[in-house]
Amino acid sequence: MAKKFAELQARMTPESRANAERLFQQHLKEMPLHELRKARELSQETLAKTLHVNQAAISRMERRTDMYISTLRNYIRAMGGELEIIATFPEGQVKIENFAN
């Protein structure tokens, strides 16, 4: 029989709960486009209407491993966000301004 998540969580050690929370926060910071769209509670159809394309175009976009920065920027803006390009080096991070539009 299935158990309630709250029951399982209550039996976890504080260390296990902290690890689970850390993983959860990491997954929120790193996700594919389709998961980001779902987390924002948007359908492909809704996003397609905002971008004036068909739903199949959104599906293809979400599966691509390479795309124009302008395409990605428009996709993110359609979800209500802004795209930032950041280069990460051992010494720190640098925001690349060439692509800010």
For the chain, domain boundaries: 1-30, 32-101
Tens digits of pLDDT across the chain (101 residues):
667 878 888 888 889 888 888 887 777 677 899 999 998 999 999 999 999 999 999 999 999 989 999 999 999 999 999 999 999 999 999 999 887 66
Alpha helix positions (H), the chain:
5-11, 14-29, 33-39, 44-51, 55-63, 69-78
| Rounded CA Rg of the chain | 18
The correct CATH number of 32-101 out of 1.10.260.40, 3.40.50.300, 1.20.1580.10, 3.90.1560.10 is 1.10.260.40
Distance between CA atoms of residues 34 and 23, nearest Å: 19
| Residue 1 confidence (pLDDT) | 61
Q: Nearest CA to 50 among 85, 12, 77, 26?
A: 77
Is the pTM above the cut of 0.75? no
